[in-house]
Amino acid sequence: MEYLDPLRLDRTLFRAATEWVRWSRRLRAGQVAPLGAFELHRSSLGSRCFAQVQEQHEADPLRVPLARWVFRLAEARINQGALLEQAAFLRVALLKVQSEKEELTLAALKQRALGPPGALEERLGRRSALLDTITRYGDDYRRATATLWQRRLEVAKRLGLESPDEIELPIATSRALARAWLERTNDAWASLGADSLSRAIELGLDVRDEHGWPARINADSLRRLVDEGDLFRSLSLDPGPLPQALGGASFLRAMARVGAAWHDAASPKDQPFVVSFDPYGLRRRTAGARFALLALSPSFVKRRLELSGPRLGQHLRCTAVSLLCETRVAALRVLLREPAMHSTPRLLQAFEEDARLTYGVSIDPRLCGSLIELHPDDAQRFIGSALAAQEIEELRDAHDEDWFRNPRGIDQLRAETARPPVTKVDHVDFDPLFSALVEHLG
Average pLDDT over residues 414-424: 90
Closest by Cα among 306, 371, 322 to 131: 371
pLDDT tens for each residue of 72-124: 999 999 999 999 999 999 999 999 888 888 999 999 999 999 988 888 999 99
> Is 0.85 topped by the overall pTM?
yes
Question: What is the C-alpha separation between 351 and 35, in angstroms, rounded?
Answer: 32
Angle between helices 63-78 and 139-158 (to 10 degrees): 140
96-117 as b/e: b if 16+ CB within 10 A: ebeeeeeebbbbbbbebbbbbe
pLDDT tens for each residue of 321-349: 999 999 999 999 999 999 999 999 999 99
Residue 222: band (very low, low, confident or very high) from pLDDT cuts 50, 70, 90: confident
Closest by Cα among 262, 300, 303, 302 to 284: 262
Write down the pLDDT at residue 2: 66
* Mean of the per-residue pLDDT values of the chain: 94
Closest by Cα among 386, 371, 283, 290 to 331: 386
Question: What is the C-alpha separation between 358 and 184, in angstroms, rounded?
Answer: 11
CB 91 within 8 A of CB 24: no
Question: What is the C-alpha separation between 217 and 395, in angstroms, rounded?
Answer: 27
